[in-house]
Amino acid sequence: MVSAPASDHGYLPDTVQTAVKLLIVGHFAVGKTTFVNTLSEIRPLSTEEVMTEAGALVDDLTGVQNKTTTTVAMDFGRLTLSDHLVMYLFGAPGQQRFAQLWKDMSRGALGALVLADTRRLEQSFDVMGRLEEQGLPYAVAVNTFDNAPAHPESKLRDALDLLPETPLVSCDARDPKTSTQALITLVEYLQTRIPQERI
């Protein structure tokens, strides 16, 4: 999945015929904004704002005490995959209070990449549950934070209660190579579930 070079102004070539929408989801402070920023070929749309004292009372900062900003609407990025195909990445905020926005954003998406953090795996269940309610296929990518514990894949699959066919990979949201590989894994999985004419 190597993106084709965009024009100097970020405009799509006239030859693009197909657009694919994917969600980048996960719980609060799992690295969604970083992931979209890492892979977008255009300057990404980001709605990061400084966290307020009121937000600190609502959002669980356990393990992420140094976090000072949060997404208040969405992240948006783009990858041109070929002269004919473009991929749009929509990063959805993970907090429960954004559930309706999250649901609206999922309309028209082919699937989702769920980012997870081994320090807070239990917080991934709400996110995966929302995807399953909407019938949206997904893959899981464990974002490898510097101070997070590492576990064998079998234990992670058990802890996340994943179906055997659900892909599970690791990535570093700051690293283009492993983040790209996570997206490739998702797209390959979607190709087994979605009619080819939609991709």
pLDDT, one tens digit per residue, over 42-87 is 987 765 555 455 445 455 555 554 545 554 457 999 999 888 889 9
CA distance 85 to 80: 6
Which of 43-47, 104-108, 136-140, 189-193 is the least confident region? 43-47
Q: What's the predicted TM-score (pTM) here? A: 0.80
Q: Looking at residue 47, what is its pLDDT?
A: 56
Q: Is the pLDDT of residue 161 over 80?
A: yes
List all residues 6 or more positions away from 33 whose beta carbon is below 8 Å from its beta carbon.
46, 48, 71, 75, 91
Structure tokens at 109: 């998406």
Residue 88: band (very low, low, confident or very high) from pLDDT cuts 50, 70, 90: very high
Q: Which has the closest alpha carbon to 115: 44, 183, 198?
A: 183
pLDDT tens for 13-34 read 888 888 999 999 998 889 999 9
